[in-house]
Structure formats: structure tokens, C-alpha cells
Structure 1
Amino acid sequence: MTYCLAIALDEGLVFCSDSRTNAGPDRVSTYSKMHRFCVPHDRSLVILTAGNLATSQAVIAQLQRDIEEDNDFNIFKARYVSDVADYLGELSLAEQAKYAKKGGPNAGFSPSASFILGGQIKGQQPELYMVYPEGNHITASDLYPYLQIGETKYGKPILDRIIRPHTPVETAMRCALVSIDSTMRSNATVGPPLECLFYEKDSLQPYNRYIMLEENHPYLARLRQSWDDNIRMAFDNLPPLSDVFAAAE
């Protein structure tokens, strides 16, 4: 399992992902879930992946092969980000079908994978899509300007409370990191290195801010400790239940 999220802001797009692929008792494996494709001054696209690693790797490899072979359709020729989302879904379904055919209904594993695609093509607005294992996709909304894939439940509450389209970039990036750190606290299958990237609207460059945080990175330790301390302080400052008991008497 893994956890990735992306946020659509007025200023651009934030992407954040963990890198853990396996967390057994005697082995921890990592692999980047963030893939960048850019033609400076024309388009910048980011793809986050979750689910079956073989499926997602095959899909990303095909996207790269399409570019290298200058195929009739590739993500550097697409007119719209939504066209790339459609193609991602088609590739994912094709790869899943291969594994399903080889393994049959009792293969003992799921070949499904999910993707978040975001970015901007020249002449268009920045866009953000989540591509489901079934091949269809949705986009972010003003009410919920973020998308998640993988182990989503633990990191969702802070996004609901903090993220809005007008949220400042710095705040959104910190919120994304806290969302992943909260997930790591509750699920060992999500873990560092953590990657966080900001794409600025209309820049048409690979990214404008990017960080990678290893497990022992000082900032990650400070962020985690500060969040824990402030959560405890906020809890201690909640209205006492004695007020309710007194009013009921």
C-alpha cells in the first residue's frame, strides 16, 4: 500500500507521495511514486501511482516508450490533460487484463492500480484527475480541491479542515506532509522518503518547489513533534464536559 495526494490551488498544484512498497518484518522496500513529464514552455505533467507496482511500472514505462518512439499519441502530443487521463485508464486496464489472464480468478493478488494526474498544457488551465482501476476518472472540485489514492483514510481529516483553493502554497505543502505523516503513524505500509512538489500555474516548468524527506530528515522530525505537541495542546483546551453535566442538573 502507499499514500499519494494532490491539491488544486489558485496558485497551482501540490503533489505529495510516500515511497514505501513493502513493509514486512524483515524487509522494507521503497520506490518513487512521483513521475514527472515536462516540455518547458509547453507542458508540465505529474503522475502519482498507487496499487499494484507491476501494473503502475508497466503503465509509466509505456508512457515513456510512446515518447521515445514518437508514437501518434503520446503525452507530449496530447491537446488536453483529460486526454492523457483517458489514455492512462486505457493502459492500466490493458495491463490489468494481462495479469488477470495469466493468473486467472484465483491468482491470489490484485493487479489493480490507481493514478493521480495533474499539470498544465499551454493554452489550458491547470487540471487534476484521479484515474480509477476501472479506467474512468474524476477531477477535483472547489468544495474538495484535493485527490487521494492508496491508504487515504488517516490523512483525510486535516485536508478537509485546512485545504481550500485559496490556501497559500506553503500551508498546503505542510498540510500534505502532515497528512502523510499522520498516515505513517497508523499504517506501517506507508513510509518515507516523502516527496512534495509544487507546480506554479502558467510556469510550464517541471516544478517551482520540490523536497524529498528521508526518515531521519531534521525537518520531518520537527514537523512530527510540533504536530503532536499542538494536537495535545488543542485537546487540552477543548471545552470541559463538566459544563454539560452542570447544565443538565
Structure 2
Amino acid sequence: MTYCVGMRLNAGLVFLSDSRTNAGVDQVGTFRKLSVFEIPGERLMVMMTAGNLSISQSIRQLVAELKTDDGHSIWTAPNLYEAARILGQAVRQVHARDAQALSEFGIEFNVSMIFGGQIKGERCRLFQIYSAGNFIEARDENTYFQIGEAKYGKPIIDRVVTPATSLDDAAKCALISMDSTLRSNVSVGLPLDLLVYESDQLALTHFVTIDDRNAYFQMIRNTWGQQLKSVFEGLDAPVWNAAPGMADNVLHAANTINQPVRVTPPGGTAPASAHGPLQTLSQQFHDGQQ
């Protein structure tokens, strides 16, 4: 499996991908999923892929060579939108060539991509491309895309990242998002590829491959876990059966009636009995308020 995240910010772009493609008991596959298309001083574009590895590799090879009917390629497209269209066309060509044969072997045509960068004369742009070759573009209200195992790393990005976030903070947030995913899903794994692009540079400036010896990522993993635990322990435990409004941590106020949905057993399977009041977690606390 895979986890990749791309962010479009006022200051530039951040891309982060893992490299695991198989997490079987006796076979762990590692393939890099981030590719750079660069003409220094004129354009820099980044593609990250998730899904079937053979499909994504075919698309990467084809898009580097493909020309449209009007003669444009990803190397000469006048803007990122046209470059994304060329990538979508490559997806459809690979689908037309391989999808039927894959289907006969029970293999779904499954691929998704994050594609972004900057071409001279326009701002940074970011797209998510689907298996049908269609795509959407990141806007200020939705400034990032994820592909692959996205759910574990999403909450921290939603809470932190805005268009005004600095590149360094966005990179830090992306690494925390990846760490959350690594801890919860064995199908995502090191090493990671991190690319940070500053607007208008039109060349690769900040790139690093991160393995388990990277000091900064190890600091992120250790410190983030410790800080989360510290924050958790600093939150008050819930109070049950308390007077309303007496504290912020009242979960259940006294004299309120809450009952679960009860399933009635068939006749004769259990002795009839009246349900007493639900047991509370802090009866002592409530008794002390009398």
C-alpha cells in the first residue's frame, strides 16, 4: 500500500511519500513513488502515485514521452492544467491497453496520483488524478491532497495546515501525518521521500530521503508521541451524576435519564426483572456534593 500527501501553500509546495508496496509476512516490497520532471529555470513538476505498481510505472514512462495532437508534451505544456491533462491522457491510454487483460486475471485497474509544481509564468498548482484520468485542483479551502492510506494522517493536517502555513511547518506537519500512518498501518513504510519547493525557484532545492536513522524524523516520532500522551493525561476524567454546570468535565448530569437501546430476550430465556439505575463511575464524587 501507500501513503502520499501533497500540500499547496502560499509559499510553495510540499510533497511526501512512503515507499512500501507490499507488506506480506515474508515479502516486503520497496519502490519509490515520487518522480520529478524538471527543466531548471523553466518548470518543475512532481508526481506521486498510489495503487497498482505496474500501472503507475507504465504511466510514468508514457507521460515522459507522450505528445498530444497539438504537439505538446509534459515538457512543453504551457501551464500545469495542460500538463495534468497530458497525465490524464496517459492514464487512459494505459487503461485502454491493459485494463481488459488485467481484469481477466482478477486485477482491478487501480491507480491515483498527486501531481503539482510550477511552470514559469504561473503560480504553483496541485492536482489529484484518478483512475479514469479525470482530476481536481487544490484551492484555498482544500489546500492538500492525500492518496493511499489517508485516514490515519488526516486529522493533524486538518487542524494545522492553511494556505498561510510556512513550508517548514507544513513539512513538519506532513512528517507527523506520516508517523501517525506508520504507527497504525503496516502497509506503509520507510524510507520516505520529502520534497519542499519554494515558489518561483523553478528548480529542485530541498529534497531528502528519510530512513530510520534520520535524526529529525526520529525526534518527531518520539516527541510527538510524548506530547500527545502528556496532553491526554492533562485532560480531566469525566464526571458522572454531577450537578449540572458545576464543572467543565461533567459528562452526565444528575437527574437526567439516558438509556441504551435494549434488545428484549425471547420469552422464557431470562427471569423477569426490573432494570435498576445505571451504575456510575464517580458516585463518590456525586455523594460528596450532597
TM-score, normalization: structure 2? Answer: 0.80
C-alpha contact 2:49 2:114 (8 A) present in aligned 1: yes
> Unpaired segments of 5 or more residues in structure 1?
none
C-alpha contact 2:102 2:109 (8 A) present in aligned 1: no
Distance of 1:134 and 1:182 partners within structure 2: 30
Distance of 1:148 and 1:88 partners within structure 2: 18
Alignment partner, residue 72 of structure 1: 71
Give the paired residue count. 244
Q: 2:208 aligns with which of 206, 211, 215?
A: 211
Shift, 1:135, TM fit: 1.3
C-alpha contact 1:144 1:160 (8 A) present in aligned 2: no
Equivalent positions of 1:142-157 (< 5 A) are 142-157=140-155
Shift, 1:92, TM fit: 1.1
C-alpha contact 2:66 2:90 (8 A) present in aligned 1: no
Alignment partner, residue 279 of structure 2: none
Equivalent positions of 1:170-249 (< 5 A) are 170-206=168-204, 208-242=205-239, 243=247, 244-245=249-250, 248-249=253-254
Distance of 1:210 and 1:230 partners within structure 2: 27
Alignment partner, residue 4 of structure 2: 4
Distance of 2:123 and 2:26 partners within structure 1: 46
Alignment partner, residue 24 of structure 1: 24
Alignment partner, residue 101 of structure 1: 100
Q: 1:103 to 1:217 in 2, by over 3 A?
A: same
Higher strand share: 1
Alignment partner, residue 86 of structure 1: 85
Counterpart secondary structure, 1:100: helix
C-alpha contact 2:8 2:126 (8 A) present in aligned 1: yes
Alignment partner, residue 282 of structure 2: none
1:97-128 alpha-carbon deviations (Å, 9 max, x no partner): 32222133x52222221111111111111100
Distance of 1:235 and 1:172 partners within structure 2: 24
Counterpart secondary structure, 1:248: coil
Higher relative contact order (CA 8 A, sep 6+): 1
Distance of 1:97 and 1:238 partners within structure 2: 55
Distance of 1:8 and 1:194 partners within structure 2: 19
Shift, 1:246, TM fit: 8.3
C-alpha contact 1:2 1:190 (8 A) present in aligned 2: yes
> Unpaired segments of 5 or more residues in structure 2?
240-246, 255-290
TM-score, normalization: structure 1? Answer: 0.92
| Bigger Cα displacement from structure 2, 137-146 vs 119-128 | 137-146
1:111-163 alpha-carbon deviations (Å, 9 max, x no partner): 22111111111111110000011211111121221111111111100000010
Alignment partner, residue 40 of structure 2: 40
C-alpha contact 2:114 2:128 (8 A) present in aligned 1: yes
Q: 2:138 aligns with which of 133, 137, 140?
A: 140
Distance of 1:123 and 1:248 partners within structure 2: 62
C-alpha contact 2:66 2:73 (8 A) present in aligned 1: yes
C-alpha contact 2:116 2:124 (8 A) present in aligned 1: yes
Amino acid at match of 1:7: M
Distance of 2:49 and 2:253 partners within structure 1: 52
